Structure 1
Amino acid sequence: MRGKRTTTGAALLAGALAVTGLAFAPTALAVTPDTATITADCGTFGGGEATLTATQDGTAATITLTTSAITAPLALAQDSITSTLTLVNAGGGSTAFTGTRNPAMAAGDPVTVGPLDGTVASGDSLEAYGGSLQMSVFGITITCTAAGPQSPGPFVFD
């Protein structure tokens, strides 16, 4: 009987320590909001609503842009679009997110680029309005800009 109490007591102590450890564990860094929308203007290539999705892991961050308002003019192979998304920092300057990642797209498919990689600092407040997205497809550079501030607001990184 005494052995059973010791085992039960040890199990309760281990559980209590585990819960305490979780309470004091550092929280994961997160960007807020994780999704925002903009109205993109890509000149003769079109424009309309686009969704930006952001993630953060320490100082590394990614942003993916998707839009059904802009479509692929031709079939595009996976990872064939070279993209640079430049966001304006409320504290001054800008941050570039770059990469050559995109899904394969048939002619007329909605455009998706990313995740594009960038480096952020704690407290960065990044906004698409005032920045740009440059995509290079078959040697042709397409530049898109936001027609107004992103909604619900800038990405704020922990």
Structure 2
Amino acid sequence: MSTRTATGAALAAGALAVTALAFAPTAAAVTPQTATITASCGIFGGGAATLTATQSGTSATLTLTSSAITTPVAVAQDSITSTLTMARAGGGTVVFSGTRNPAMGSGAPVSVGPLAGTVAPGTRLDAYGGSLKMVIFGITVTCKASGPQSPGPFVFS
């Protein structure tokens, strides 16, 4: 009987361990997950913007949203071609691109992304030193950060 009890206890402990792992929170692959910048888009305006990053292996995405930067005209969903160039610590850049955006009315806050890119483990990226280029109805709008992002660069694991 003691062997049966010990086996049952071991199986119960193993089941609890597996359950705990299944419900354990997953670690974020990129830190921070959000950062803010102040962007200038020339005659198209400027102001505070939020960048949101995600990562899965070497694939990463960035989304930019801003209530300070608005659309001059209504745009359809997935109609803005965006290229977000991020400055890499130590030199060089990483490009995130795509045609993902929600439908936005004239004067609506700008939102583009998620824009896809590739990162290596340990990559540190900052919007400062890079740019966001959006092509809307054939017109190119270029935005640049006026300083480093806060709370700091994105660090990909």
In 1, Cα distance between the equivalents of 2:155 and 2:113? Answer: 19
Partner of 2:8: 8
Question: Normalized against structure 2, the TM-score is what?
Answer: 0.89
1:42 equivalent to 2:53? Answer no
After superposition, the C-alpha distances for 1:61-111 in whole angstroms (9 at most, x for unaligned) are 000000011111111100000000000000221000000000000111100
In 2, Cα distance between the equivalents of 1:90 and 1:17? Answer: 40
- Amino acid paired to 1:109: A
1:18 equivalent to 2:5? Answer no
Q: Identity over the aligned pairs, expressed in percent?
A: 66
Give SS of 2:43's match.
helix
Q: Which sections of structure 1, spanning at least 5 residues, go unmatched?
A: none
In 2, Cα distance between the equivalents of 1:103 and 1:48? Answer: 20
1:126 equivalent to 2:137? Answer no
In 2, Cα distance between the equivalents of 1:125 and 1:66? Answer: 21
Partner of 2:73: 74
Give how far 1:3 is off: 10
- Amino acid paired to 1:77: A
CA RMSD between the two structures: 2.4
Partner of 1:114: 113
In 2, Cα distance between the equivalents of 1:148 and 1:10? Answer: 57
Change (3 A) 1:144 1:14: same
- Amino acid paired to 1:90: A
Q: Residue 38 of structure 1 contacts residue 148 of structure 1 at CA under 8 Å; is this kept in 2?
A: yes
Partner of 1:136: 135
In 1, Cα distance between the equivalents of 2:97 and 2:13? Answer: 49
- Amino acid paired to 2:47: G
Provide the aligned length of Structure 1 versus Structure 2: 154
Change (3 A) 1:17 1:50: closer
- Amino acid paired to 2:109: P
Partner of 1:84: 83
Q: Which sections of structure 2, spanning at least 5 residues, go unmatched?
A: none
